[in-house]
A and B are shown apart, each in its own frame.
Chain A
């Protein structure tokens, strides 16, 4: 079956919807967790109003990052693509896969960043004096948990802009192989960031909370956080490797 421009547009619009739709799920949940912890903190410690409000806003901004990535990808899929008729199945599959990669890829990191922000607000409410070091730890932890969203963003960009044009004289078998390899690449990094993103967010949340409560142990806690987050990131890197293999080695 020969694909026309309309088919490729269809795939791009579907990808755009999947990207921002899935991306919005936990971005909303994460920001909500932060606001909830912050509101609950005000009940315990109304005097910490300023510090809580600041931590909440900065934490929510960091938790929204992955959602913004998803928005960027869906804008690119709607307005920034090149619809060459000879792009064929490869082009259609890569637009759909880019949407899947970024949409699924933003679920874990924003949930993790939301948990980290929530625990940080909880700690600020207990120890308003430590709000600066808690916020510093929270931001580092949220950045660590967003790395896997950045992997998904990289794969989505590669899928949109560097998939080769489908050759004219190619067998149907070859076309099916490459098309499903492209979709597999999107699914690999999309699902692969879910665990590491939320796992690192859990580490960052616990570390932020404990930095607030036991501030004299800050350096040991941060060291453990880095070590644990690095090990937890490894599976996201495996997924990235498998995605690259599926995109470039076939």
Chain B
């Protein structure tokens, strides 16, 4: 399977886009989830009797915050495999 120059440029841009998409897409969720977990540590230290409640809220919040990371992963995989 040989590519013409034009096809090559399209495919190559899709792959570079996939790299940039996953790279920048990981930035926000990573930072946001870290912030949630940091605040949860602080909260659990201050009121340990609510530890399970705080942990549950932390995990739900992180799951929501993770969604954009998963969107980026999906788009990156689409760009790699279906162009």
Report the nearest B residue to A215, measured CB to CB: B45
Q: A206, B42: Cβ atoms under 8 Å?
A: yes
Choice from A181, A191, A202 contacting B24 with Cβ under 8 Å:
A191
One digit per residue, 1 when the CB lies within 8 angstroms of any chain A CB and 0 when it does not, for chain B 30-45 equals 1111111111111011
B25 to chain A, nearest CB (A): 7
Given A202-B35, A249-B80, answer yes or no on A188-B18 (Cβ-Cβ < 8 Å).
yes
**Is A228 interfacial (CB-CB < 8 Å)?**
yes
Residues of chain B from 18 to 60 with CB closer than 8 A to chain A in the complex: 18-20, 22-42, 44-46, 48, 51, 54-55, 58-59
Indicate if the CB atoms of B16 and A183 lie closer than 8 Å.
yes
Is A172 within 8 A of B34, CB to CB?
no
- The B-contacting residues of A in range 178-230, CB under 8 angstroms, are 179-181, 183-203, 205-207, 209-211, 213-214, 217, 220-221, 224-225, 227-229
Query: Main SS of chain B's interface residues?
Result: helix
Number of interface residues of A (CB under 8 A): 65
Q: Are B20 and A188 in contact (CB under 8 A)?
A: yes
CB-CB under 8 A from A190, the residues of chain B are 23
> Is A231 part of the contact surface with B, judged by Cβ < 8 Å?
yes
Bitwise, A6-22 to B at CB < 8 A (1) or not (0) is 00000000000000000
When chains A and B are docked, how far (Å) is the Cα of A155 from the Cα of B21?
Answer: 17
Contact B46 A214 (CB under 8 A): yes
Whether, in the assembled complex, A40 has its beta carbon less than 8 Å from a beta carbon of chain B, the answer is no
Measured between C-beta atoms, what is the minimum distance from A98 to chain B in Å? 14
Q: When the two chains form their complex, are residues B8 and A176 in contact, meaning their CB atoms are under 8 A apart? A: yes
Report chain A residues within 8 Å CB of B42: 206, 209-210
Binds B, one of A71-79, A80-88, A239-247: A239-247
- B78 vs chain A, min Cβ distance (A): 12
Contact A235 B41 (CB under 8 A): no
Q: Mark A48-86, 1 if CB is under 8 A from B, else 0.
A: 000000000000000000000000000000000000000
The answer to whether A174 touches B37, judged by C-beta atoms less than 8 angstroms apart, is: no
CA gap between A213 and B69 in the complex, in Å: 34
A232 to B, closest residue via Cβ: B33
User: Are B5 and A228 in contact, CB atoms less than 8 angstroms apart?
Assistant: no
B69 partner residues in chain A, CB cutoff 8 A: 234-235, 238
* CA distance in complex: A198, B31 (Å): 6
Residues of A within 8 A of B (CB): 104, 108, 112, 171-177, 179-181, 183-203, 205-207, 209-211, 213-214, 217, 220-221, 224-225, 227-229, 231-236, 238-239, 241-243, 245-246, 249-250
A/B interface sample: 18 pairs, CB < 8 A: A176-B8, A191-B24, A193-B26, A196-B30, A198-B34, A199-B33, A200-B30, A202-B37, A207-B38, A225-B37, A227-B59, A232-B29, A232-B34, A232-B62, A233-B30, A242-B19, A242-B77, A243-B19
